[in-house]
Chain A
Amino acid sequence: MKMRPLTGFRNLPVFVTLGLFIIMFGIGSFAFPGFFAVQNFLNLFIDNSFLLILAVGMTFVIISGGIDLSVGSMLALAGMVASSLLEKVHMSPILVVPIVLAMGTALGLFMGYLIQTFDLPPFIVTLAGLYLARGLCYIVSLFTIAVKNPFVVAAAHAQVHLFGGNFLSPGALIAIAVVLIGFFISRYTKFGRTVFAIGGSETSAILMGLPVAQTKVAIYALSGFCSALGGIVFTLYTLSGYGLNGSGMELDTIAAVVIGGTLLTGGAGNIFGTVLGVFVYGTIQVLIVFEGTLNSWWTRIVIGFLVFVFCLMQRVFERRRGVQGLRSVQAKVAKAG
């Protein structure tokens, strides 16, 4: 099989994101002493571990041409259920994790079923999912649940030491594993290729005999699974569950995926691009913290602006791709004639 060239037209948005990330990290390194450090880079993994996990799931959804607005509140729900099972029922973490993951997957599966079987718009179905999960959080508890389970606390404070005194958290390791597995699934499995095919053209995918229906349901189940896993990692990160956690995170996730070069119309995208998108998001936050005087709300404004720029870029790419496609057809017709 011929390898696709890495620097091809398709991967251009990813390189733009990479350039943006390097420039932003560079600006920070020049402007603030102590910014340029290996640990500061690793902190991007640690502080954005849950966002990375959500974004991997979201990348699949967006590549398939859909959208999942429920991820933020699903994260909160997973955190609430996990911390209440740990603290109120005193269940072992070994049981809690599978239960929470199964719950997230089941909710995602149900939404995927509604979307696929009854041709409902993903936007509305997952919007209702957002409502539902947020409300369910408060059925579990109206207040913050602090996690004091000794094993979980130990895991939260654990540091996995790397070279030169730098470290990663267990949550960050989980996130890295999810990214690698996600990349593998998207590139080298039948499921992954079907996702791309659905995003490119659902009708063509059906005509090609691909299992479109099952895949579409599975995509939302996967996103639900990622949200639940993100919730567990978030609980590990904050050692508590609260119903307002992760509000607005669905949009941060979508923003990261878009900045990472995944086409919102579906059909094209890259998990590593998404990782870069999360890094850009994280770097903006770190820069604002280092700067010190800026209002933290600037993060939102800058992210909004970046989404705008990248959407604009996508439109330009799409148009050029359309023109190129037309030209190649014309050339073929001319040859045949």
Chain B
Amino acid sequence: MASWKSLTRSNIAWALVALAALLIFNLFFTPHFMHLEIREGHLYGNLIDILKNGAPIMLLAIGMTLVIATHGIDISVGSVVAMSAGVVAILIGGDLAGNPKYPILVAMLAALAICTLAGMWNGMLVSRIGMQPIIATLILFVAGRGIAMLFTNSMQIWLYAKPFALLGQGYVLGLPFDIYIVGFVLLATYLVARRTAVGMFIEAVGINPTAARFSGINSRNILLCAGIAGLIVCSTVMNADGNNAGRLFELDAILAVVLGGTSLNGGKFYLLGSIIGALIIQTLTVTIYAFGVPSDVAPVVKALVVWAFCLLQSPKFRLTVAQMFVRREQSI
């Protein structure tokens, strides 16, 4: 049963088991959890909500997966999300009648451009100057939110433009529009990462930068690419949700990637795993709310989950546990 063994050993399997366990738990303990209905041609229900509300984290997690695969980390995504939100909000603005100030496409392209610029900036600091990724992205983490606030003059801007609302609230073929964005980005990233050499380069850099250099891979350029990838993705998120400040997004995204089985030490990455990770987080959040826990307390549960998963991934912890079992058997 070689295939069974490889399945249980793969990290995605564990993420799937965790997600399934959560869903089954909800099936029994949360009333109406699996309830789906069609209202005005749209699908409604808890499961759809999880997909829809999890979309931003899923998008961020896709980009973050690539960054983490290079043994890097990007803590600036939340701030960059805020920046792109600021740009979109200002450019679209719009009056009460729903007419945008500038065409929506222009606004979105501008936001994308700014985010890509931010990603290239991060990538440049890491690859050309050789800063640690945490520190390089820390700079934008600190400054980014300030820049976003300057864009909007520290006011909340309400968006009245109608076509823009489609991105965040619209439905296509009965499913929320966000899900299609996630699907498209996932597919595009998958094709680039798995069907071209880029993905292999990323893994090579993450596993051993020195070896990768000897085999002729320029790790610097790859890191640059990863930065761009992460940020193109995250700008898409913001287009879907104009007023969201993206608080603690970076943490959720990192958590999703870790839950999905990509090791923080770089190397092998699992795009699909990260998506499942994001779903776990969202389901967990819904479950916590369903039990009447105040939303502010939810981070406690998240923290415990992160610690538990880190321990499960730690070879040292696995060894310790294994030894405990061995000793017990011997004593019997």
Contacts and interface: CB of A to CB of B under 8 A. Distances in A.
B141 interface: yes
Q: Of A130, A131, A299, which is in contact with the most chain B CB atoms at under 10 Å from its CB?
A: A131
B307 A125 contact: yes
B311 A118 contact: yes
A120 B131 contact: no
B142 A300 contact: yes
Interface string B115-148: 0000000000100011110111011111111110
Interface residues of A, number: 45
A149 to B, nearest CB: 25
Given A131-B300, A295-B153, A300-B143, A123 B134 contact: yes
Q: Of B143, B153, B265, B302, which is in contact with the most chain A CB atoms at under 10 Å from its CB?
A: B143
B65 to A, nearest CB: 15
Contact of A127 (B138, B153, B254, B320): B254
Interface string A240-264: 0001000000011011001000001
A303 B297 CA distance: 31
Contacts of B142: 251-252, 255, 300, 303-304, 307
Contacts of B144: 304
Interface in B242-290: 251, 254, 258, 264-265
A256 B39 CA distance: 54
Given A135-B298, A300-B146, A251 B138 contact: yes
Nearest to B317: A118
Contact of A299 (B138, B141, B146): B146
Given A125-B307, A127-B251, A134-B299, A119 B139 contact: no
A123 B311 contact: no
Chain B interface, DSSP helix/strand/loop, else mixed: helix
B166 interface: no
Contacts of B149: 295, 297, 300
Contacts of B20: none
A123 B138 CA distance: 12
Contact of B150 (A136, A252, A297): A297
A277 B301 CA distance: 35
Contacts of B320: 118
A120 B313 CA distance: 9
Contact of B307 (A128, A258, A303): A128
Interface stretch (A165-173, A181-189, A308-316): A308-316
A142 interface: yes
Given A124-B264, A307-B138, A301 B129 contact: no
Contact of B310 (A124, A264, A295, A300): A124
Interface in A133-163: 134-139, 142
Contacts of A267: none
A174 interface: no
A123 B73 CA distance: 10
Contact of B306 (A118, A128, A297, A303): A128
B71 to A, nearest CB: 11
A114 interface: yes
Contacts of B134: 67, 123
Contacts of B310: 114, 118, 120, 124-125, 128
Contacts of B315: 119
A303 B129 CA distance: 19
Nearest to B305: A128
B29 to A, nearest CB: 21
A273 interface: no
A118 B316 contact: yes
Contact of B143 (A121, A124, A301): A301
A138 B131 contact: no
A301 B146 contact: yes
12 contacts: A124-B310, A128-B303, A134-B299, A135-B296, A135-B301, A137-B296, A254-B138, A298-B146, A304-B142, A307-B138, A308-B125, A311-B135
Interface of A: 67, 114, 117-121, 123-125, 127-132, 134-139, 142, 243, 251-252, 254-255, 258, 264-265, 295, 297-301, 303-305, 307-308, 311-312, 315
Given A300-B142, A308-B125, A308-B139, 9 more contacts: A124-B306, A139-B300, A252-B142, A264-B135, A295-B154, A300-B145, A303-B143, A304-B142, A315-B131
